[in-house]
């Protein structure tokens, strides 16, 4: 009897163990299946990085992480770190073996016009590599439809303008207006046609003059073409002169000119002060008076010589006869 009871207990325990193993296997299969559906390689290398955003846009868990379009991981978690200021941490799993520089950044961008998101890894240039658990830089790129609102506003403005033009044209052709719009347009076209005919007549009447002008322009063009070498030579000479002026010591020339001007100013100042012969001559009238008196004496002497030349020049051939001046003279 006891043996039979023992056998019953053994069968129940075996069933319980089987049920437990089945539940564990089912849970494991469910976990592996869910992980596989998320695109995570359970048996591959796992490296986690973190990115802290102020605004994640439409980023969500299971968003693909790519490197130049190649999928390298997933976003495995998003957590609110603080609300003031807002800081949102995204956990990013990288399943590929990569050497990621520490200045690399995660870019959250729009994948398509339907609003799908993707995280692009933008490699940095640092020689120091990041390790699992490090926090990398991040930013949110502009969406594909950014600026569409402004474009729609502009299009609405254009449509409104076109509608206004249409209304104005419609009003211009109304038959109940005091001035018929259609007749106005017809008159305008008639005036344009008349102007065109007058222009054609003008060209026909002055065809010879126009031809001469064209001929002269042709001759002028040929002349300029023939004179082109001379013009090139002139330009080259001007260029050489310009280079010579550029290479000349302009500063030295200016300094020399300034020195000459300073010397001239010094001489003029001395003359004004009465220094030197020229200064005495200009500033002191004594020398002038002496010279004036000397000139007067010379003039009197010359006058006396003219009036009494024999008193100064006495030439005799047969003997000298002295003559005395009258006492009155």
Predicted TM-score (pTM) above 0.75? no
Q: Is the backbone peptide bond immediately before 35 cis, with ω within 30 degrees of 0? A: no
Residue 74, C-beta contacts closer than 8 angstroms, at least 6 positions apart: 38, 39, 40, 61, 62, 63, 64, 65, 92, 93, 95
- Please give the residue that has the higher pLDDT: either 78 or 249: 78
- Please give the residue that has the higher pLDDT: either 167 or 314: 167
- pLDDT tens digit sequence for 267-301: 787 777 767 766 666 666 676 677 778 888 888 88
Phi, psi angles (nearest 5°) of residue 172 = -65, -30
Of 66-80, 138-152, 243-257, highest mean pLDDT: 66-80
Decide if 51 contacts 89 (C-beta within 8 A): yes
Percentage, residues of the chain above pLDDT 90 = 6
Confidence of residue 216 (pLDDT cuts 50, 70, 90): confident
pLDDT of residue 89: 92
Decide if 64 contacts 118 (C-beta within 8 A): yes
Mean pLDDT score, 115-143: 87
Decide if 119 contacts 66 (C-beta within 8 A): yes
Mean pLDDT of the chain: 76
Lowest mean pLDDT among 78-82, 150-154, 303-307: 150-154
pLDDT of residue 122: 92
Confidence of residue 50 (pLDDT cuts 50, 70, 90): very high
Residues in the chain: 329
Confidence of residue 329 (pLDDT cuts 50, 70, 90): very low
Lowest mean pLDDT among 26-40, 67-81, 211-225: 26-40
E-strand ranges in 36-163 read: 47-53, 64-67, 70-83, 86-94, 105-110, 117-122, 137-140
pLDDT of residue 7: 61
- Please give the residue that has the higher pLDDT: either 277 or 3: 277
- Please give the residue that has the higher pLDDT: either 83 or 249: 83
- pLDDT tens digit sequence for 165-192: 777 766 666 655 545 556 667 677 778 8
């Amino acid at each position: 009897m006891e043996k039979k009871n023992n056998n019953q207990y053994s069968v129940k325990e075996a069933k319980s163990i089987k049920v437990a193993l089945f539940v564990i296997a089912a849970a494991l299969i469910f976990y592996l299946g869910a992980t596989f559906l998320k695109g995570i390689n359970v048996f591959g290398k796992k490296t986690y990085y973190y990115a802290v955003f102020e605004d994640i846009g439409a980023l969500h868990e299971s968003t693909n992480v790519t490197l130049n379009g190649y999928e390298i991981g997933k976003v495995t978690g998003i957590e609110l770190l603080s609300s003031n200021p807002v800081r949102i941490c995204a956990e990013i799993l990288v399943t590929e073996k990569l050497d990621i520089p520490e200045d690399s950044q995660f870019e959250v961008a729009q994948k398509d016009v339907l609003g799908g998101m993707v995280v692009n890894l933008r490699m940095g240039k640092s020689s120091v590599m990041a390790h699992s658990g490090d926090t990398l830089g991040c930013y949110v790129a502009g969406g594909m439809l950014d600026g569409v609102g402004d474009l729609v506003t502009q299009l609405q403005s254009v449509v409104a303008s076109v509608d206004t033009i249409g209304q104005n044209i419609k009003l211009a052709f109304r038959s109940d207006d005091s001035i018929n719009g259609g007749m106005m347009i017809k008159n305008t076209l008639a005036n344009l046609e008349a102007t065109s005919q007058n222009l054609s007549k003008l060209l026909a009447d002055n065809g010879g003059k126009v031809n001469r002008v064209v001929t002269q322009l042709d001759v002028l063009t040929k002349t300029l073409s023939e004179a082109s070498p001379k013009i090139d030579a002139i330009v080259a000479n001007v260029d050489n002169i310009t280079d010579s002026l550029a290479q000349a010591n302009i500063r030295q020339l200016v300094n020399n000119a300034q020195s000459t001007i300073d010397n001239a100013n010094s001489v003029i100042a001395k003359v004004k002060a009465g220094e030197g012969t020229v200064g005495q001559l200009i500033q002191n009238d004594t020398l002038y008076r002496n010279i004036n008196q000397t000139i007067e004496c010379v003039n009197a002497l010359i006058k006396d010589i003219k009036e009494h030349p024999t008193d100064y020049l006495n030439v005799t051939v047969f003997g000298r006869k002295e003559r005395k001046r009258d006492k009155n003279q």
